[in-house]
Amino acid sequence: MKTTMSHKKMERISTWFKFIILLVFGALLIAPFVWMISVGFDKTANVTMPFPPKLIPEQISGFNYGIVFENGRLIQSYMNSAIVTVSSVLISVSASLMAGYAFSKGTFKGKKFLFILVLCTLMIPMEPRLIPLYKLFNSVDLLNTFWPLILPPIINGMLIFLCKQFFDQLPDTLREAAQIDGAGEFKIFFKVYFPLSGPIAATMVILAFIWSWNDFMWPLVVLNDQELHTVPLYLASFSLENGTSLGGLTMALATVSILPIVVVYLFLQRYIIQSIALSGVKGE
């Protein structure tokens, strides 16, 4: 009886110990976000960042948020980012799912070569592609529109690779059974494999969403009109030449600009965990 009591007590202590450790690490992880929100309410941080960091500013002010929402430019940039991101995510995820399926289950000539070609796109950074892509969109008179931001992600090496890896794990027998029933490739994809691709699709949505939402250099180059600027461009418009930044304003902007990503992540986080478990993208 005594042993049981002591065992229960030990378990309780162990639970509390784990709880405290998690609480401490949780607090450490969330501290930069709390600090970001706090500095956003500090007008003087635009001149000098408060040091040492304070949880609550000495003079709480909505000054920075006033500038953030001034003239409706942030709202406009949100709408622009939303148009670009939603379109780009839909197109890149749909195209990658189909390409991934083709590379996984398809039987066609040059499959391996084409797949290597797709993987090669991962090795070329944006910088060397900048001018050729710019000239390409200029030649079809699509600069200063959202199209250059929506169309290029159709071929996304990383997403296609993830999809192929996912479909590789689904049994070929499903496809064979459907073929016996007389289904063509499109029917097999849409009716058999696509409904099973929820977890990987959710992961891809999250990745594509973050890439598109945070993209800076390419939108900067192709969008000239301030009315078309996306959120990162609006954010950068407050940067100063000499490498310093307006701390309070930047933090207020950062707080407002990450909200959509936080919301999307909160809605989709269980799928990403599920997909990691299913597709083995945990780096093993």
Partner 1 sequence: MGRVRSSKSFFLMLAFLMVVVAGLAGCSENSSGESGGDGKWAGQTIKVQMIGDFAMEDSTDPITGEKTKGVHVLKEEFEKQHPGAKVEFILMPWEGYTEKTQAMLTSGEADVYQMPGVADFAPQGVLEPLAPYIEKDEDFNLDIFIENQVEGWKALGPDSDELKIYGLPFLGDARFIAYDKKLFDQWGVDYLSDHPTMDEVAEKAKKMTGKNPETGEQNYGIWFRGDWSSAFTLIDTAEGQNGRWGTGFAWDEIKFEFNSKEMVNGLNWLLDMQDYAPKGLVSNQGSENWMTKDNNIAIMLNQGPGDTVKPAYAQGLEDRIGIAQEFKNDEGRGGLFAGSPVAIAKDSKHKDLAWEWLKFATSDFAQKYVFEEMGLVPSVNSALEWDSVKEQDLMLPVFDAMKTPWTPRYPWGSAQPRFILTSEIESALTGKRDAQAALDKAQKESTEWLENR
Binding site for partner 1 (CB under 8 A): 43-44, 46-49, 51, 63-64, 66-67, 70-71, 73, 83, 86-87, 90-91, 94, 127, 130-131, 134-135, 138, 142-147, 150, 190-191, 194-195, 216-217, 220-221, 224-226, 228, 233, 236-244, 246, 248-249
CB of 12 to partner 1, least distance (A): 44
Cβ-based burial of 140 (10 A; exposed 0-12, middle 13-18, buried ≥19):
exposed
Residue 251 DSSP SS3: helix
CB of 180 to partner 1, least distance (A): 18
State which residue, 118 or 249, has the beta carbon closest to partner 1: 249
Distance of alpha carbon 220 from alpha carbon 193, whole angstroms: 38
State which residue, 179 or 224, has the beta carbon closest to partner 1: 224
State which residue, 44 or 165, has the beta carbon closest to partner 1: 44
Would you give the distance in Å from CA 16 to the centre of its chain? 35
Distance of alpha carbon 82 from alpha carbon 212, whole angstroms: 10
Residue 216 DSSP SS3: coil
State which residue, 24 or 217, has the beta carbon closest to partner 1: 217
CB of 182 to partner 1, least distance (A): 16
State which residue, 96 or 115, has the beta carbon closest to partner 1: 96
Nearest to 35 by CA among 20, 49, 21: 49
Please state, as a whole number, how many other Cβ atoms lie within 10 Å of the Cβ of residue 263. 10
CB of 94 to partner 1, least distance (A): 6
State which residue, 91 or 276, has the beta carbon closest to partner 1: 91
CB of 249 to partner 1, least distance (A): 5
CB of 129 to partner 1, least distance (A): 11
Terminal Cα-to-Cα distance of the chain (whole angstroms):
45
In the chain, the amino acid numbered 122 is: L
State which residue, 27 or 126, has the beta carbon closest to partner 1: 126
Report yes or no: 144 and 78 within 8 Å, Cβ to Cβ: no
CB of 138 to partner 1, least distance (A): 4
In the chain, the amino acid numbered 178 is: A
Residue with tokens 């002010």: 61
Please name the residues in contact with 212: beta carbons below 8 A apart, sequence gap of 6 or more. 84, 85, 88, 89, 149, 153
